[in-house]
Amino acid sequence: AQKITQTQPGMFVQEKEAVTLDCTYDTSDQSYGLFWYKQPSSGEMIFLIYQGSYDEQNATEGRYSLNFQKARKSANLVISASQLGDSAMYFCAMRESMDSNYQLIWGAGTKLIIKP
Amino acid sequence: GAVVSQHPSRVICKSGTSVKIECRSLDFQATTMFWYRQFPKQSLMLMATSNEGSKATYEQGVEKDKFLINHASLTLSTLTVTSAHPEDSSFYICSAREQGAYEQYFGPGTRLTVT
């Protein structure tokens, strides 16, 4: 079974609208963390936001917020007021506590295209 | 933020030759570095994890004699693709993690083309 599932292979969104990118995860650990990375066409992976399993508040970083629903095992990324520069691949990833190196388990990604 | 550099950004080599890719953490000490391979329109595939001063741990299916990884210092890891073949053509990307931190910071990637 996949540990990280991103069900949206691609999304088209009108500029200035809010975007929600879905991510569900599967783990039996109590301590884990969830990440979102952005990969523009240049290829570089850009760290966006992190949510720890024990964090009570949803993580926010500027226009990015993580809608963390622990019981549903979902960690959706919300981008407010989308911009053309937000067009990119977005990957959800998880670290589990059992890995001392904090390896990440990656989702398949969602390609987001912002329309002018 | 933490900066990771990767060199070269692009390399074209002939079949049978070896290619070295460098990954450097510029403003932090990287306890752990990771090497990934990414095929077009796919997610990252972890190749190996290396800790400074230790032998790299390779993922299943990755040939350790073909993909040599050295993590000689807290700021530098290298990946050498030995006896490269066209099927090794891919996008290789490294990341680095500081001790005690969860997040990985990525280099810009290296596009390898083997002719």
Render pLDDT for B30-79 as a digit per residue (tens, 0 to 9). 989 999 999 988 999 999 999 888 889 999 999 999 999 998 899 999 99
The identity of residue B104, as a single letter, is: Q
Task: Give B96's pLDDT tier (boundaries 50, 70, 90).
Answer: very high
Nearest CA in chain A to B33: A101
Whole-angstrom Cα distance, residue A46 to residue B105? 8
Output the pLDDT for position B55. 87
CA distance A80 to chain B (A): 22
Q: Which of A33, A44, A103 lies at the smallest CB-CB distance from B106?
A: A44
pLDDT tens-digit readout, A21-55: 999 999 999 999 999 999 999 999 999 999 999 99
Are the C-beta atoms of B47 and B62 separated by less than 8 Å? yes
**Chain A residue at shortest CA distance from B43:** A108
Beta carbons within 8 Å of B101's beta carbon, 6+ residues apart: none
Best interface-test mutation with A: which of B103, B106, B113 has the largest number of A CBs within 10 A? B103
Which of A102, A105, A112 is the best mutation test for B, with the most CBs of B within 10 A? A102
Residue B86 pLDDT > 70: yes
Percent of chain B whose predicted confidence (pLDDT) is above 90? 82
> Nearest CA of chain A to the CA of B11: how many Å?
15
Question: Where are the strands (E) in A1-116, listed by range?
Answer: 4-5, 10-14, 19-21, 24-25, 32-39, 46-52, 60-61, 64-69, 74-79, 88-96, 104-106, 110-115
Give the closest residue to A50 by CA, choosing from A60, A42, A39, A41: A60
pLDDT range class, residue A101, cuts 50, 70, 90:
confident
A101: nearest CB among B49, B91, B103: B49
What was the pLDDT predicted at B105? 93
* Mean pLDDT score, A62-87: 97
pLDDT of residue A5: 96
Interface size A-B, in CB pairs within 8 Å, comes to 52
Distance, in Å, from the CA atom of B68 to the CA atom of B47, rounded to the nearest integer, reads: 11
Q: Does A50 sit within 8 Å of B103, measured CB to CB?
A: yes
Label residue A96 by pLDDT band (50, 70, 90).
Answer: confident
Nearest-CA neighbor of A20 among A79, A74, A81? A79
Task: Check residue B54 and give its pLDDT.
Answer: 84
CB contact under 8 A, B102 and A91: no
| pLDDT value at A97 more than 90 | no
| pLDDT tens per residue across span A50-68 | 999 999 899 999 999 999 9
Residue A98 has pLDDT above 70, yes or no: no
Q: Does the pLDDT value for residue A1 go beyond 70?
A: no
* Surface of B (11-70) touching A: CB under 8 A: 32, 34, 38, 42-44, 46, 49, 51, 57
| Amino acid, res. B3 | V
B5's tokens: 């550099």
Residue B108 has a pLDDT of 95
Q: What's the pLDDT band for A108 if we cut at 50, 70, 90?
A: very high
Q: Work out the average pLDDT over A82-97.
A: 94
